[in-house]
Amino acid sequence: MDAAADGYRALMRSHAPAASAAIEALAPLAMSHDGSANLHRALGDAYMRTGRFQKAIEEYNRAVAVQQPVAAALSTRYGKL
């Protein structure tokens, strides 16, 4: 899911009009994979590019809520700190 979210974000950076189509694709993905902070961030970016700022803020807040704390992420990646 992270690779898909990164791909959509790259697409929107290079082709801004793709944001509307990205919303259609990302919204169901974000709902079905609610624990993916990266999907919620990508969806928030798409909402921002289409001027739907309140929806963007909601998605960014969801991303923060489900994001793994930094220390836990580092210990998972590099072993115990």
In this prediction, residue 74 carries a pLDDT of 55
pLDDT at residue 47, rounded to an integer: 97
What is the full per-residue pLDDT of the chain (81 aa) written as tens digits? Answer: 889 899 999 999 999 899 999 999 999 999 999 899 999 999 999 999 999 999 999 999 999 999 877 655 556 665 654
Q: Where are the domains of the chain?
A: 2-78
The pLDDT value recorded for residue 68 is 73
Q: What is the pLDDT of residue 45?
A: 96
Query: Model pTM greater than 0.85?
Result: no
Fold type of domain 2-78 = 1.25.40
Direct distance between the N- and C-terminal alpha carbons of the chain, in angstroms, rounded to an integer: 27
